Homo-oligomer: A and B are copies of this chain.
Amino acid sequence: MSRIEKRMAGMGLVLNPPKAPVANYLGTKRTGNLLFVSGRVSEKRGQVGTDVSLEEARLAARDTMLDLLSIIKADIGDLDDIISIIKLQGFVNADSSFNALPQVIDGASELLIALYGEAGRHARTATGAAELPYGATIQLDMVVEATD
């Protein structure tokens, strides 16, 4: 078992089977040592500030990151082969009265830091979206650096 998956298990988290893309694209695409990971939406549906609480949205962000990691594992074979998390983009389906988008996306960022330590710290942008595919609460994509 890989070092990263051991840490996950120690946190009581499990990696679900990788989800297939919902349309005509790849889960990840590589160029050199950079891996671009496609956007994934949360299983959680609804808008933060109306249907969904801050704490539910944070959990949805964490669970969506687990889905991204499962997809990366399927593509590169081992989560230990991620050297560094570079950039995370998070979209939050939020009511215009809800502004704490950074706190929502922290649910994903804090998982990366717990798993990868300093190498898991990353650049990030958290933005509101008018509408996400399937009415989802969260959408995440990212760029990571992998071993040769």
Query: How many residues of A are in contact with the other chain, CB < 8 A?
Result: 58
* Number of copies of chain A assembled together: 3
User: When the two chains form the complex, which single residue of B29, B34, B125, B128 contacts A38, counting CB atoms closer than 8 Å?
Assistant: B125
Would you give the 0/1 interface string for A107-142, flagging 1 where the beta carbon is closer than 8 Å to chain B? Answer: 001100100000001111111111111110001010
CA A139 to CA B124, docked complex, whole Å: 12
Shortest Cβ distance from A143 into B: residue: B36
A87 at the interface (CB under 8 A from B): yes
CB distance B84 to A29 under 8 Å? Answer: yes
Q: A23-B102, A99-B134 are in contact. Are A28 and B123 (CB under 8 A)?
A: yes
Return A86 CB to nearest CB of chain B, in Å: 5
CB distance A127 to B123 under 8 Å? Answer: no
12 contacts between A and B (CB under 8 A): A27-B123, A28-B123, A36-B86, A36-B123, A38-B125, A98-B131, A99-B134, A99-B135, A127-B133, A127-B139, A128-B129, A128-B130
